[in-house]
Amino acid sequence: MTIPHLTAADGTTLPAIGLGTYRLNGSAGVKAIGQAIRAGYRLIDSAVNYENEGAVGRAARAAGDVRDELVVTSKLPGRHHRYDEALTTIEESVFRTGLDRVDLYLIHWPNPKVDLYVQAWRALIEARERGLVTHIGLSNFLPEHIDRLVAETEVVPVVNQIEVHPYFPQQEAIDYHREHGILVQGWSPLGRGNDLQEHPVVVEIATAHGVSPAQTILAWHVARQVIPLPKAASPQRQVENLDAFGIKLTDAEVEAITASGRPDGRLADQDPAVYEEF
């Protein structure tokens, strides 16, 4: 199927859904990612810390004629934010994938206490200029972090990947990104290890549309112009997730799901203002 695209301020377009690949590793990972590409996925999310850039790259290389349609993504870990280390890490990501470039490269976390994320961002800019990567962006950055990067480098990220799901809808953050022409990707869009898919509001709306709770939640993301990155290894689940584009929620249904948000809605209390990952 053809997946819609969303466009950033600089004209960069990204598929409106992607495949999360955390824990899709080794031969099983290559198989699952290859299935997803054949099903129609074109945005494939990875990271150095997922330790599966090789599997992602192998599946992308096997994709044949659709390789140029793929947006293969990786992320810079916090331990390599220093400029020279960041550039070397990006080179290694390219080598591990076996591709001629990584299509989208992100800084995984800002790690503000370490305070090297501006160096890391300058390295991503240099990597883009050298053709190692095509597009650059962020992951888990707060508006104040983004404002600083833009003030110091005059380069706006095309995307910021943040935690978004009905228990943590992030409306203010989404509004900020929309105002600045930055696309939003949502990680753990279906929640993780919680009762989100059993929430009465989600179940009621899913029943009304004759679809699954997971499809309903993904349709909620689509309606809010958030690019969800659900992980799915089974071919059936991969296809079901793509069917979210055929579900048209009303504004009232979107608002009802958004109202499920909680002050403590983060899955693991990973507040980018203080949380750090290396």
Residue 214 token pair: 């997971």
Residues belonging to the active site: 50
CA distances from 153 to 102, 117, 134, 150, 231 (A): 22, 12, 18, 5, 33
Q: 3-state class of 180 per DSSP?
A: coil
Q: What are the φ/ψ torsions at residue 200 (nearest 5 degrees)?
A: -55, -40
Return the ∠ at Cα 180 (arms to 179 and 183), rounded to 5°.
95
The answer to whether residues 75 and 52 touch, using CB atoms and an 8 Å cutoff, is no
Residues comprising the chain, all counted: 278
The answer to whether residues 36 and 19 touch, using CB atoms and an 8 Å cutoff, is yes
Distance between CA atoms of residues 214 and 122, nearest Å: 38
